[in-house]
Structure 1
């Protein structure tokens, strides 16, 4: 009896967290699948089968939304990986102010996403924004960053990268600092330079950090909404519409069942892309 108690004792501490997880995540998830097949309001609901899914796939901007969602996720993920790695290498080097610079790089992550979106929509104003005003003082005519269909989505992606690269940098700093010193000492004995140190040691042995950044940034990009909506609201036209913004517009219009079906579709879309990517990256991960 004592051995059984010792084996199960620690699991009792998981019960509070498991109950919270069940109530906040598992139960709403299954309820979403059910209510996606209903026409519901706050007072009642009517089962209508898969009609919401059929209607959602007939949305005129859905094709653009899927394309924009994928492009946005790839762009933001790619830049966060590149800049996060470079900053991680720089901030683990022997510089005196690295602790201060780490806090500066991480600071945007702490700022409210809505506040960042509102601030940058002001900075990117075509005539009165600080960015175009500065360019004009240099004799350069800046574009309408958020009003031109050629630049709008990439402009929002740039702001997303600015806000999220600090978190990626922290992951890379942890990954780089976990690399054993013996590798660096062996390279120094062989006469390797800084480039060889980066290419032969840091880059391959920080792959677990790279995998984590890719997965988190890619999923975050596929689900992105909170920074995009205050900046463009999906415009101009449908140029920056993503799946999440299309769903939100359905909620605004009062089509709650239709929007719930959209959430289920978004969940399946993210899962269909993220799970195979995660399996692929984990198979290639270097075992330290």
Structure 2
């Protein structure tokens, strides 16, 4: 029995090595180097100076505000539209298989490619979006050049790209609900809206919770789409914490940017874990 137990643990060694080498070790070293002034060849211990300098960054408050707005707006819209699409794509529509693939397709496209493509589409004078609007007499705005619209424009593109994952998770959750509940509901004379409100929605809560958490984590950590579309501009109007960290890294402040990554890691944990506990208390068991 003991030999079997030891043998079973040896099977975990490859996965444990990968976890230690590619996650645990880099995480520990990131925390260490956040307290140093380092280059590729040497380092110097400076304590909390990096953290002090990071919080003195002039655009930091804008970055925090934009990050929270971006994360919660995109998470909310992904849950809303993903739920609507999932309901439609689990119905008796004849083309639902084709539509499922269409909804999921943007997820497969590179984020940088999506950012570049939409930067062209949202060009104020030559972009397809404003050109189409002009055909119906509407003067389209400068989607990415207007400080009041830039962050929202990127958020909408992020929703377009990410709603496919949310939809797939919702579809999986809805298809796992026993059909007996719907049959009993029909016998009692219930309509489709009541079936959704009292059966589908409560019993899809685990899927909803998963989408909320994944979307929030993704939104708080977003960098590539914002950088590809606006570079954090105009000015600092679409800067997120991740893009501020990247700018510090570009400027050669490696220790400072590492401290920013540690702060971002702690921020995500402080937001996500309480929400995770709250959502899990609300789940409905089948």
**Which range, TM-score by smaller chain?**
over 0.9
What is the DSSP-based 3-state SS (H/G/I as helix, E as strand, rest coil) of the residue aligned with 2:225? coil
| 2:98 counterpart of 1:86 | no
Aligned to 1:257: 255
Alignment of 1:103-114 (within 5 A): 103-114=101-112
Aligned pairs, how many?
Answer: 286
Q: Alignment partner for residue 190 of structure 1, among 188, 191, 196?
A: 188
Aligned to 1:174: 172
Aligned to 2:14: 16
Alignment of 1:122-133 (within 5 A): 122-133=120-131
> Offset of 1:100 from its aligned partner?
1.1
What is the DSSP-based 3-state SS (H/G/I as helix, E as strand, rest coil) of the residue aligned with 1:286? coil
TM-score (norm 1): 0.98
Q: Please give the alpha-carbon distance, in whole angstroms, between the structure 1 residues aligned to 2:8 and 2:139.
A: 64
Aligned to 1:269: 267
Q: Please give the alpha-carbon distance, in whole angstroms, between the structure 1 residues aligned to 2:223 and 2:6.
A: 42
Alignment of 1:161-240 (within 5 A): 161-240=159-238
Q: Please give the alpha-carbon distance, in whole angstroms, between the structure 2 residues aligned to 1:105 and 1:8.
A: 47
Alignment of 1:145-156 (within 5 A): 145-156=143-154
Compared CA separation, residues 101 and 37, structure 1 to 2 (3 A): same
> Offset of 1:18 from its aligned partner?
1.2
Residue by residue, what CA displacement relative to the aligned partner does 1:248-283 show, whole Å, maximum 9, x if unpaired? 000100000000000000000111100001000001
Q: How much is the aligned-residue C-alpha RMSD, in angstroms? A: 0.8
Aligned to 1:158: 156
> Offset of 1:5 from its aligned partner?
3.1
Q: Please give the alpha-carbon distance, in whole angstroms, between the structure 2 residues aligned to 1:268 and 1:68.
A: 17
Q: Please give the alpha-carbon distance, in whole angstroms, between the structure 2 residues aligned to 1:10 and 1:193.
A: 52
| Structure 2: stretches of 5+ with no match in the other structure | none
Q: Please give the alpha-carbon distance, in whole angstroms, between the structure 1 residues aligned to 2:186 and 2:241.
A: 50
What is the DSSP-based 3-state SS (H/G/I as helix, E as strand, rest coil) of the residue aligned with 1:39? strand
Aligned to 2:117: 119
What is the DSSP-based 3-state SS (H/G/I as helix, E as strand, rest coil) of the residue aligned with 1:227? helix
Q: Please give the alpha-carbon distance, in whole angstroms, between the structure 1 residues aligned to 2:59 and 2:99.
A: 42
What is the DSSP-based 3-state SS (H/G/I as helix, E as strand, rest coil) of the residue aligned with 2:234? coil
Aligned to 2:279: 281
What is the DSSP-based 3-state SS (H/G/I as helix, E as strand, rest coil) of the residue aligned with 1:167? helix
Q: Alignment partner for residue 239 of structure 2, among 230, 238, 241?
A: 241
Q: Alignment partner for residue 26 of structure 2, among 16, 25, 28?
A: 28
